Structure 1
Amino acid sequence: MHIHILGASGSGVTTLGKALAKQIDYPYFDSDTYFWLPSDPPFISRRPPEERNPLLISHLAQHENWILGGSIFSWSEDVFLDYDLVVFLYLPPEIRLQRLRDREYERYGDIIYTDPERKLQYEIFMSWAVDYDEAKGLAKRTLPAHEAWLETLNVPILELRGDLTVQQRVDAIIKSMGELRNMC
């Protein structure tokens, strides 16, 4: 089974993907691993699409079952993946943005406030994250863009909206997987 989990940054995609992978013993692939080149600090240099796309496709092709976390709908038309289930996560902005603030501080500490360059990177990232719901043009990955993409799909979509626990989300996905298997 091929499961794709997506949502805004801070909605819990990676946390859910890893928890689900552990519970059902599927490999988990994070789109950020392919989108960004390794760097310190991370998430600075984008991997060229001509490298990124084939790399992702080749890694997924090595597995019968997999979970892909992250939004790849805008990567290009040559990354068309055959999904069995798409899971869309949505959190209210105030919860999601606080999670991002907390996560960024946990990852990097005071440097995101004290170092001028890192502070600027943090502020740009948070402005981009705010734009997910506001959709004023800072980001391609917005709530309206995700919802429009979901409407184009001809596969089951499980929408998990609200501040559910990780286990509640995992249980909902496993239930959907069981329903899909029963339909076959």
Structure 2
Amino acid sequence: MAFTYVSGRPCLDFMGTLKYRGGAGAEELLTGPECLSEWAIQAGLVGAAVDVADGDLAAALSVREAAYRIVIARLEGRRPPVADVALVNEWAAQPRITPRLLRSGATRREGTAAQLPATLAADLLDLLAGTDIDNVKRCAHDGCTRLYVDSSRGRNRHWCGMGTCGNQAKVQAFRARQRASAR
């Protein structure tokens, strides 16, 4: 499976592995432990497959959901849920994935399944502590629940990505104009 990485931060991209949240059409992309390993490889967090058990996947998904609720609370000017704060802080304090320097001078990223949510929780804390949090937005496309850092020059980006929601929104607007002019 090819995952989408358009959010500007690993923690936000990880949140995007549950599409169309809150509705009947919610779509879980991490349907098994091997999917979490593949997501981490494609995200560049690790260079090779990680052994992930069902419990590791469940832990990662609980961190993902807590992180999402924390960012949404921040965007809405509310305090995040206490249990979510405790969970993210607990994971962020754990050992993270780090690159290793090889004798050849090259580097390699490797880690364990437990280091994946720890790394993502730490990335969330870095996001919240930095200036990028002020540029985090929700995708404006109907039904999309992806969050992203708007790093555009004018800070006027509307969609999580042009190749995904932006293109769909523009096609829908074009078709609506075509129908209106045909009347």
Normalised to the residue count of structure 2, the TM-score between the two structures is 0.28
- Structure number with the bigger relative contact order (C-alpha 8 A, sep ≥ 6) is 1
Q: Which has the larger radius of gyration?
A: 2
Normalised to the residue count of structure 1, the TM-score between the two structures is 0.28
